Amino acid sequence: MKRDLSVVLSLAIISGILAGCGSGSSPSSINSALSTATAEDSSDITTATGSGDAVVELTFTGWEASPLETEAVENGIKIFESEHPNIKVSYTPGLSGTEYTAKLLSSAAAGSLPDIMFMQSTDYRTFASKGIIMDVTDRFDSEFSLDDFIDSSRSIMDFNGKVYGVSSCTVMPIIYYNKDLFDAAGVAYPDSNPANAWTIDQFREVAKKLTSDDVYGCYGFEVEGMWPALMNENDGHYYDPADKKTPMFDTEENKEVFQALKDIREVDHSAPDATTLSNVGMTALQMFETGKIAMLCDGSWSLQELAATGMNIGKAPLPAFKHASSSGQAHLHCINAKTKHPEECWEFIKFLSGEDYQKSMISSGLWMPNRKSWYTEDGLKIWYNEEVHGDDYRSMLDYFENAYADERPFTLTTETTDAVREEMQLFFSDDKSLDDAMTSAQERMMAAFKSTQ
């Protein structure tokens, strides 16, 4: 029965672990499309109406990561409008990933880009480099401090010493585990203290003990969103940490990580085939919820759904290679560089980053706080929810606050990360050796990188 379960996991899952707050790939034609967009006459680029004492209408677009997120956005807009009676915000959610990016591109080319938008972190630098989104560097002050953002969020916001968007939150991969399956197998729970995190070898041994004819010990490591954190744990990178842009993927540190991930499935037989197309419509999260997976490596936003199920779950840091760490990123809130109402847009951007808007998202488990002040004892009072987060989550607060930045956004073309995803999928599916996949990924990354210079 266990081998038959492999058909439920889709290729679509592989590239989507951090889609909850946006890290989907963009069309390879993004640079040429944006070049066209910048040449367009933008005299009618927004639908805002009125000025002075008149009501200003701002257009705002994003995607629906979950119904709760959309509901929270709409409720937040009502609060904002009640506090700013001279501003009306018209929100339009849409599809995510490449479809969303394509929509922004077509809107920019047509001169109808919204005033404010969600911006996928992997698109952020490309849009900023083309002058599509507004430089807001000088708008931060003592009341709205850039220094209050945790390092992973701030480093993603920082593009050549400037800021073109405000990080919405942070999300990162963690381990969820089914306590009932651990109890049935007589296996001790992982320690939630990152200082005592399992090594990757210890994790593999536990996963084997949890594996049976009906249950896989774990799932999630062959999903793209896990790779930045795991590579960083082994001192590996996508890009040279000295400049955060020169590809540096083909290294022994990265090879060790990817070989270990594949061995979990092929040597230990503890995980299902991550490249098998789903035929029964179950996601990895649904597999976990139905007791078919004992440990799930997934995005932090999954806590929202898991908390609502009433499952007996625990949360733990990722298994460590050389050291224990995770990687954070999320979408940004950006302003159209040619909006007719920059001041009103900035007021709305500040609201989206404020307590009234953020607390419902974070307390439900959908988002994580990206402000240093919210990791203090006073800050925890804003969002911490014992029923959702629990003591194990609280034990990992330093782990979250000090996470590395996901390295995938540090590029001017998503072709570099597309190359990694595509080549490593070939490795995981046995269509290429590890050495060949790594070499090819590096060569493709360098070619894409040079095209942006």
* Measured CA angle at 138 (ends 134, 142), to 5 deg: 130
pLDDT of residue 20: 52
Listed by start position, the domains of the chain span 3-18+173-328+408-451, 30-167+331-366
Q: DSSP secondary-structure letter at 373?
A: G
| pLDDT profile of the chain (453 residues), mean per 10 | 42 41 43 41 38 83 81 91 97 88 90 96 94 96 94 97 97 97 98 97 98 94 95 98 95 98 97 61 87 95 93 97 96 97 97 92 94 97 96 96 97 93 96 98 97 90
CB 162 within 8 A of CB 129: no
The residues, any chain, with a CB within 8 Å of residue 196's CB and separated by 6 or more, are none
Whether 3-18+173-328+408-451 shares its CATH topology with 30-167+331-366 is answered yes
At the topology level, CATH places domain 30-167+331-366 in D-Maltodextrin-Binding Protein; domain 2 (3.40.190)
pLDDT at 281: 67
Cα angle vertex 93, ends 91, 97, to 5°? 140
Tokens standing for residue 433: 């050796």
SS3 417: helix
User: Which DSSP category does 416 fall into?
Assistant: H
CA distance 163 to 301: 25
The span from the CA of 22 to the CA of 358, in Å, is 17
> At residue 211, what are phi and psi to the nearest 5 degrees?
-85, 135
Distances (CA, A) of 282 to 12, 174, 219, 321: 12, 21, 13, 30
Exposure string of 375-401, with b = 16+ CB inside 10 Å and e = fewer, is beeebeebbbbeebbbebbebbbebbb
pLDDT for 360 equals 87
- The CATH number given to 3-18+173-328+408-451 is 3.40.190.10
Cα-based angle 376, 380, 385 (whole degrees, multiple of 5): 155
Q: Is residue 345 within 8 Å of residue 88, measured between CB atoms?
A: no
